[in-house]
């Protein structure tokens, strides 16, 4: 299970990178990055997964005393939660840039924004 998720995650990252590096449309690049981010999140969670255990929530099914043996690693989940929010933050920022870039230059083609170089 975790292998599948992890593989999927990695593939998503690679797909995302590919999309981001080959599409010249900046909006598409951002889309590709969100895909890659999703992939990262998958990988993160998959790393914490343990076969046959339950979510790290203590309730009737998982009493405190047995918790250590019953639940999966909660840390990656906590990290992913943060990562998702950060990801959306960056995405929003990039989108704001896209809006602004488009407003000034009227183009979404990354290769049109090369006035700074060398």
Partner 1 sequence: MIKRLVVLLLLAGIGAIFMSLLLGYTPDNELNLTARYYAEHTAQDIGAANIVTAIIVTYRGLDTLGEVTVLFLTAAIVGLVLAQGRQQNSQRSQRKLPESGELLQTGSLLLTPLILLLGVYVFVNGHLTPGGGFQGGAILASAILLMLLTDPMRHFSHRLISVLESISGLIFITIGVLGIIYAGGFLDNRILPTGSLGQLFSAGVIPIIYSFIGLKVGAEFSSMLVNLSETEGS
Partner 2 sequence: MTDLMTTMSLLLAATTIGAALMAIWGKRSLPIAILAAGLVSLLASVQFLLLAAPDVAMTEAAIGSGLTTFLFFFVLGRVRGGSND
Partner 3 sequence: MVNAIFIIATGLGTAFLLGLLKDEWRTAAYGITLAALALMSWIAASWVAALAWGGAATVDIFTAGTEPPFAINLRMGLPEAVLTLLVNLASLLAAVYLRDTMFKQGRRAMAVLLIFAMALCGIILTRDLFNLFVFFELTVISTGGLILLSRDKRALGAGFKYLIASQVISILLLVGIIFSYHATGTLNIDGMASMSAQLLQGGSLAFFLMFIAIVAELKPFPANGWALDIYESAHPAFSAMLSAAAGSAALFAVDKLLLIGGTQWLPVATAIGIVSFIGANLFALAQNVDRRTLGYSSIAQIGLVLTVLGQRDILGDSYLYIAGGILLAHAISKAGLYWLSGLVEGRELTAWTALRGRPLLIFAFVTFLALLIGLPPFPGFYAKWDLIHTLAAQDRIMLLTLILFGALIEAGYLFRWFGYVIKREQTTERVACTPHKVAVVYGAVIAGWTAAYLWGNLSPHGNLLHTLPLLFALGFLLLEWLPVWIKNTIAIIGLVAWFILGFPDYDPLQLIFAAVILIGGALILLSSYHVQGRRIGFYPSAMLMYAGLAMLITADDSFSFFAAWESLTVGSYFLILRGKHSEPHALSYIIFSLGGAFLILAGFALASQGVMDFQLQALGQVTEPLSAWVFMLLAIGFMTKTAAIGVHIWLPGAHAEAETDVSPMVSGILLKAGLFGLFMLLMNMGKQQLYGIELTHVMLWIGALSALLGNLMAIFQEDAKRLLAYSSIGQMGYALFGLAMMNHLGWLMALMFVINHYIYKSMLFLSVGGIAKRTGTREMYRMGGLITLMPLSFIAVLIGIIAVSGVPPLSGFGGRWIFYNAIMTADHRLPMIIIFLAGPIAFLYLFRLIHTIFLGQLKDEHRRLKEAPFWLILPQMIYVACLLIFAVVPGMALRHVDSYLNQFFPNHGLNWEGLTITSSFGYWSPISIMLVIGTIFATVLAWLLFVNRKAQKVKQFNMVFAAERPYRPETTHYAWNFFAPYRKALGFLTQPLVTRFWEALTDLLHSLAELLRRFYCGNGQTYAIHLLGFVVVVYLLKVGL
Residue from 27, 61, 102, 112 in contact with partner 1 (CB under 8 A):
102
Residue from 104, 107, 116, 117 in contact with partner 2 (CB under 8 A):
107
Name the binder of 113 from partner 1, partner 2, partner 3, none, CB < 5-8 A by kind. Answer: partner 3
DSSP state of 66: G
Question: Pattern of binders to partner 2 over 9-48, x per CB under 8 A?
Answer: --xx--xx-xxx-xxxx-xx-xxx-xx-xxx-xx--xx-x
Minimum CB separation of residue 62 from partner 3 in Å reads 20
Asked if 117 interacts with partner 3 (CB under 8 A), we say yes
Question: What's the distance, Cα to Cα, between the start and end of the chain in Å?
Answer: 48
Q: Produce one character per residue of 57-92: b if its CB has 16 or more CB atoms within 10 Å, e if not.
A: eeeeebeeeeeeebbbeeebbeebeebeeebeeeee
């Amino acid at each position: 299970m975790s292998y599948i998720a992890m593989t999927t995650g990695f593939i998503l990252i690679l797909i995302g990178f590919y999309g981001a590096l080959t599409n010249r449309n900046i909006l598409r690049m951002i889309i590709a990055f969100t895909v890659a981010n999703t992939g990262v999140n998958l990988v993160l969670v998959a790393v914490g997964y343990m076969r046959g255990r339950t979510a790290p929530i203590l309730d009737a099914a998982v009493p405190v005393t047995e918790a250590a043996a019953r639940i999966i690693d909660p840390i990656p989940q906590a990290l992913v939660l943060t990562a998702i929010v950060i990801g959306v933050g960056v995405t929003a920022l990039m989108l704001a840039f896209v809006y602004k870039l488009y407003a000034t230059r009227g183009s979404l083609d990354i290769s049109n924004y090369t006035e700074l170089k060398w």
